[in-house]
Structure 1
Amino acid sequence: MIDKQEVEKMREAYGKFYEIENFIRLFISKNMALLYGVNWYEISVRKLKKRRPNKAFDKLLYHELISILKLYSNSKLQVIPQSLIMELNYLTPIRNKIAYTISLEENEYEYLINLYKELNNIIINQDES
């Protein structure tokens, strides 16, 4: 029999991860558009002399978004602390467990929830600015 508490925990984990990933996508897009304009995805790589992924921004996977976040972390985009970007990078194995429906250990679940709260504080602070 499937443990109902485990199902609820994984449902919540998926929801939190979904919000984290989409916050990162929106954060990058919004801030880079402010810095470089509507076509930031093409313009910024030329200005920073960096390579970007070969697919559209809205099709990027989580690990690719984190790479983009790291790539632009030295630009004026830096509102997310570098330490938090590294923590987001460490979330990848937890993301994989969620995607492949493998139960999270309690410490992994707590890590996800804590990162979610940290990002939520950034969202609240941005909205107040």
Structure 2
Amino acid sequence: MADLNQTCGSTTEEEALSANLSKLQIEQAGAQRVEQTTLLVTLPIELLLQIFEALGPAGRRLLGSTCVKLYETYKAYYYEKKIGINLNEAANPRRPLLAGTRAYQDILSKWICPQSVMDEDAREDDAREMRNQA
């Protein structure tokens, strides 16, 4: 597990450039935001903070990404430059009806270890296996 943590501890430069490029493309396209009509955006900040408190770090980030008001709340009270993920949150979500979906697990696994790292690890495992067979 130590190797996984060392390898996956930060976002690669390529991923950061890709994310910035996507934001730039959206800005240049002049994309209009859809009006947010969910009842969540009408809740007082005290209730929003209670909702955020009930979630783990990854759940907070996911909730914050759903709309502008929730993002502003997330950024003002919980934002961290690096994504913090508690492995217990991924394995045993406290709110299985909200957090236990396959999509949630996929997002967490990609945050914990990007596909490029997984591919590299698989190549190393294959090479090690070939050496052992020789």
Q: Which has the higher helix share?
A: 1
Tell whether the structures are fold-level matches, with TM greater than 0.5: no
Bigger Rg, structure 1 or 2: 2
Instruction: Give the TM-score taking structure 2 as reference length.
Output: 0.28
Instruction: Give the TM-score taking structure 1 as reference length.
Output: 0.29
